[in-house]
Chains A and B, each alone.
Chain A
Amino acid sequence: MRQRNSSMEGPDGSQLFEDTSGAGPRTQSGYRNQQTEPQQAGFAGQSLLSDPMSNLAMAYGSSLASQGKEMVDKNLDRFIPISKLKYYFAVDTVYVGKKLGLLVFPYMHNNWEVSYQQDTPVAPRFDVNAPDLYIPAMSFITYVLVAGVALGTQNRFSPELLGVQASSALVWLIMEVLAVLLSLYLVTVNTDLTTIDLLAFSGYKYVGMIVGLVAGLLFGRPAYYLSLLWCCAAIFVFTIRTLRLKLLSEAAAEGKLVRGTRNQLRMYLTMSIAAAQPIFMYWLTYHLIR
C-alpha cells in the first residue's frame, strides 16, 4: 500500500517522483512550477486545462473562431442563399423513390400541382411534385462516374477525362438555364419559378441519361437506343406536365384552347424547353457508347 503512493520517500527523505496530484502540499505556486518543469507524459493534459494562460488562449481562440464563422456565414449568405437551398434538400427516401419512378414513368400520375402551405411551397418531403436539388446533384455526379466507366470499357479512360466530362456537362447545364431564363424574360411570363427551380428541372434529365448509359453498357447499342428513347419520351412528358402549370395561364393549363398570341408564345416556350431535354440527353451521351 505504501508503494502505491505516488510520492515515495527516497533514502534521503526527498521525493523520488513529483507529487502529480493537484491536492499536493503545493497548491498556488504549484501551477507555475508545473509549467516551468518538464511535463511528464500523462500529465500535460491536466496542466493545459488548469493553466490560466492557456485557458485564456483557448477562450480567445474559440471566440475568434466563432467570429470568423459568423462573418463567413453572413457573407456567404449574401451570394448563395443557404436557407433557400436547404429547402431543396429536405428530401427523404420515399420522395426520392417516387420521384425517380415519376421521371421514368410519368404517364399514370394525375395531379401535378405543387401544394402550398400559407403561401410558401411545401417541402419536397411532403409533396412529390415539388422540385428538389438532391436528385439532380446526385445524378450529375453519377453521370460523370458512369461516363468514366463507359470510357474505361473502351480503353479511352484517363483521370483528366472525368474532369473534362464534368465541366462540359456543367457548362451545358448553365447555358441551358441561362437560355431558359432569357426566353422567360423575353416572353414576360409572370411566374414564380426561381432560378434554382429551373436548375432542378434541367437536372432531372441526368436520370434518364444514366439509365440509357447503363443499359448501353450492359446490353449493347440497341438497348442504349431503346432505353434512351423511352427516357426521352418520359422526360418530355414530365417537363411539359410540370411546366404547363407554372408557365401557362389558368385556363390554358387545364387543356382548353385559349386564343391569343400570349398563350401561343407560352405554349411554344414550354414545348421548346421540353424538346431541348431529349436533344441534350442524346448530345451528352452518344459519344460514350461506341
Chain B
Amino acid sequence: MAFTLYSLIQTAILCTNAIAVLHEERFLSKVGWAVDQGVGGFGDDPGIKAQILTLIRSVRTVMRVPLIIVNSACIVLLLLFG
C-alpha cells in the first residue's frame, strides 16, 4: 500500500521492458499477432486487436534506445547501491 514514486518508475520500466521484449518473428506471428494484417479501411476504426498490435510495435520501435540507456543506468545503480 505504501507506494512511492520510485516504485512507480520501477513499474514503468518493467512494463515497458515486457512489451519491448515481444519479438516479431519468433513469437508474435506464431500466436497470430503479427504486424497488423488486413487492417483494411482507413475510414473505419481499427478495433481493439489492431490497436494493441500497433501499440506493441510502436513501443518496440520508439523505446528501444531509451530502454537500453535506462536499463543500463538501473543495473549500475542497483549494483552500486543495492
With A188-B45, A262-B45 in contact, do A168 and B4 touch (Cβ < 8 Å)? yes
- Check A226 for interface membership: any CB of B closer than 8 A: no
Is B7 a contact partner of A171 (Cβ separation < 8 A)?
yes
Is A186 a contact partner of B3 (Cβ separation < 8 A)?
no
- In the complex, the chain B residue whose C-beta lies closest to that of A174 is B8
Question: From residue 160 to 194 of chain A, which have CB atoms closer than 8 A to chain B?
Answer: 164, 167-168, 170-172, 174-175, 185-188
Shortest distance between the CB of B43 and any CB in chain A (Å): 12
Report the stretch among B22-30, B34-42, B47-55, B69-77 that lies at the interface.
Answer: B47-55
Dominant secondary structure of chain A at its interface with chain B: helix
23 pairs, CB–CB < 8 Å, chain A vs chain B = A164-B2, A164-B4, A167-B4, A167-B5, A168-B1, A168-B2, A168-B4, A170-B5, A171-B3, A171-B4, A171-B8, A172-B3, A174-B8, A175-B8, A185-B51, A186-B51, A186-B52, A186-B55, A187-B48, A188-B45, A188-B46, A188-B51, A262-B45
Is B1 a contact partner of A287 (Cβ separation < 8 A)?
yes
Binding site for A on B (CB under 8 A): 1-5, 7-8, 45-46, 48, 51-52, 55
In the complex, which range does the number of interface residues on chain A fall in?
A: 10 to 19
A287 to B1, CA, bound (A): 10
Q: Which residues in B have their C-beta under 8 angstroms from that of A171?
A: 3-5, 7-8
A167 to B5, CA, bound (A): 6
Shortest distance between the CB of B39 and any CB in chain A (Å): 12
Cβ contact of B48, chosen from A164, A170, A186, A287, cutoff 8 A: A186
- In the complex, the chain A residue whose C-beta lies closest to that of B4 is A167
A147 to B38, CA, bound (A): 53
Binding site for B on A (CB under 8 A): 164, 167-168, 170-172, 174-175, 185-188, 262, 265, 287
Given contacts A171-B4, A171-B8, A175-B8, 6 further A-B contacts (CB under 8 A): A167-B4, A171-B5, A171-B7, A185-B51, A188-B45, A188-B51
Q: Which residues in A have their C-beta under 8 angstroms from that of B45?
A: 188, 262
Shortest distance between the CB of A5 and any CB in chain B (Å): 70
Q: Which residues in B have their C-beta under 8 angstroms from that of A265?
A: 48
Shortest distance between the CB of A144 and any CB in chain B (Å): 14
Q: Which residues in B have their C-beta under 8 angstroms from that of A170?
A: 5
Q: Which residues in A have their C-beta under 8 angstroms from that of B3?
A: 167-168, 171-172
Minimum-distance CB pairs A-B, first 6: A171-B3, A168-B3, A188-B45, A171-B8, A186-B51, A164-B2
- Residue among B3, B4, B48, B55 with the most chain A CB within 10 A? B3
Q: Which residues in A have their C-beta under 8 angstroms from that of B4?
A: 164, 167-168, 171
Q: Which residues in A have their C-beta under 8 angstroms from that of B8?
A: 171, 174-175
Q: Which residues in B have their C-beta under 8 angstroms from that of A172?
A: 3
